[in-house]
Amino acid sequence: MKDSSTRQAWRIGLVAALLPMALGSAAQGGLKWQGTATPSPAIAQAAPSGIPAATPPLDVRNFEAIAQQLVAGGRIPGLAVAIVQNGRVLSARGYGVTDARNGEPVDAHTVFRLASLSKSFAGTVTGMLVNDGVLRWDSRLTDYVPSFRLSSPDAAQQVTVADLLSHRTGLTHNAYDRDLEGNADFHALTMKMATAPMTCAPGECYAYQNVAFSLVGDVVFAATGQFYSEEVARRIFKPLGMHDASYGLEGIEASARWAKPHVRGGGGWVPLMPKPNYYRVAPAAGVNASISDMAQYLIAQTGHRPDVLPAPLLATLHAPLIATPGELRGAAWRRTRLSSAGYALGWRVFDYAGHDLVFHGGAVQGYRGAMALLPDRDLGIAILWNSESALPSGLLPTIIDSALGLAGGQWLDEEVVAPEPTMYANQPATPAGVDASAASASPE
């Protein structure tokens, strides 16, 4: 933050990304970036540039074989992978089983819990409302939730819609997540924010949130008169053909086929029932979807459904607003490949070996997932699995390296990968035979 020239360069780059959206909608409010490096030009592109002629085609069969190896011998219970490019589904398949004890095979329509991958849906539906003139990015939270308070004088009145979606509320990291894990009511927790410690003024620093982030659902309801989950279903699920997608515990349990979460036990993987805790913060963690659904979502997010998600809106959603240098640590692929990291509107944005990578990961007890967009290869990837294993995490950078022609990465050899800072629901009681240390985890 100390280097004013680099901060100004970030803002100039962001203006290039936001200009088409600002011209296209009078409702578009100004966004401000707080960063330490200049975003590469691809962030400012309103549409994918396509695959350079010299780029070799992806060896999709090889990635499918790797996915099959990951579930072989019960290394993990189940896995689903989608790869899309140039607006086409190259692969959308399931591997392994829905339940390690007596499950069905995972297929393209098996539903998984998305955890924090849900945040991109929140950014997207909000952006659609901005595009329609119903909201502005600089709309004040208190205009829609008048009861909202923060501990610093007048701070609550400064929080904007964009601040919520980019984790710039000024609160401490993961504020009240542990209370949520203890079955506290969501709206009761939002009231407690009136006395919560703050680390900065709203808009000035980054700290990952689930409870505060989900206030955007209240904004959507106040602005539209529709429940948040219904608005997402109407604007995203239905037009994109995401026929298996739903919200909440009731949604996943009503699915025709869904993958149970698993934790490690003394004899291997132990299936559990999904916990309701983080479903209570629907914008942050409420979506359930199949890999077939995710393939269609990736096609839209890579610019091939302009009837639903126009290119200027995507450019805004994918433009970083705040630096997140902590994302450069953890897994070996992050330490090796990433040179900068930021948070956009429900998405992370990385510089991956000189290429922009739009990314999000998620984890909640018994489920993990990751998805990424590589704009200059017009590529989208989603990986979902129903266990707390870190083993599949290396598949995503393996596919990205192949798309970029990079060599030397041995990401699938990693046995331990730092978790995405998101949510983990603690078990009040550990089932018989389950390793208690594996039944819950703490965010970074």
CATH label of the domain that carries residue 390: 3.40.710.10
- Residue 413: pLDDT band (50, 70, 90) is low
Does residue 42 register a pLDDT over 80?
Answer: no
Q: Per DSSP, what are the bridge partners of residue 34? A: 322
CB 30 within 8 A of CB 138: yes
Please name the residues in contact with 82: beta carbons below 8 A apart, sequence gap of 6 or more: 89, 91, 92, 291, 292, 294, 295, 298, 380, 381, 382, 383
Q: Which amino acid is at 67?
A: A
Strand runs labelled E in 69-181: 78-85, 88-96, 111-113
Does residue 423 register a pLDDT over 90?
Answer: no
What is the predicted pLDDT for the residue at 31? 52
Residue 248's domain spans which residues? 60-115+243-439
Higher pLDDT, 275 or 416: 275
User: Which residue has tokens 């106040």?
Assistant: 222
Higher pLDDT, 39 or 303: 303
Q: Burial of 407 by CB count in 10 Å (0-12 exposed, 13-18 middle, 19+ buried)? A: exposed
What is the predicted pLDDT for the residue at 3? 42
- Check residue 72 and report its DSSP letter: G
- Is 143 part of any domain? no
Provide the 3-class DSSP secondary structure of residue 340. Answer: strand
Per DSSP bridges, beta strands 268-271 and 262-265 are antiparallel
- Is 414 part of any domain? yes
What angle (nearest 5°) sits at the alpha carbon of residue 211, between those of residues 206 and 215?
A: 95
What is the predicted pLDDT for the residue at 103? 82
What is the predicted pLDDT for the residue at 87? 97
- Is 218 part of any domain? no
pLDDT digits (tens, 9 = 90+) for 259-300: 999 999 988 999 999 999 999 999 999 999 999 999 999 999
- pLDDT above 90 covers a percentage of the chain that reads 78
Higher pLDDT, 393 or 46: 393
pLDDT digits (tens, 9 = 90+) for 111-166: 999 999 999 999 999 999 999 999 999 999 999 999 999 999 999 999 999 999 99
Does residue 37 register a pLDDT over 80?
Answer: no
- pLDDT above 70 covers a percentage of the chain that reads 80
Does residue 16 register a pLDDT over 70?
Answer: no
How many CA within 13 A on the CB side of residue 39? Answer: 33
CA of 238: how far to CAs of 80, 242, 272, 312, in Å?
Answer: 22, 6, 30, 22
What is the predicted pLDDT for the residue at 266? 83
What is the predicted pLDDT for the residue at 170? 98
- Residue 385: pLDDT band (50, 70, 90) is very high
- Is 122 part of any domain? no
What is the predicted pLDDT for the residue at 267? 83
Please name the residues in contact with 356: beta carbons below 8 A apart, sequence gap of 6 or more: 39, 40, 42, 43, 349, 350, 374, 375, 376
Average pLDDT (301-322) is: 98
What is the predicted pLDDT for the residue at 55? 60
- Is 234 part of any domain? no
Q: Per DSSP, what are the bridge partners of residue 369? A: 362, 384
pTM: 0.86
pLDDT digits (tens, 9 = 90+) for 189-242: 999 999 999 999 999 999 999 999 999 999 999 999 999 999 999 999 999 999
Number of domains in the chain: 1
Q: Which amino acid is at 405?
A: G
- Is 173 part of any domain? no
- Is 13 part of any domain? no
- Is 384 part of any domain? yes
Please name the residues in contact with 20: beta carbons below 8 A apart, sequence gap of 6 or more: 46, 311, 312, 315
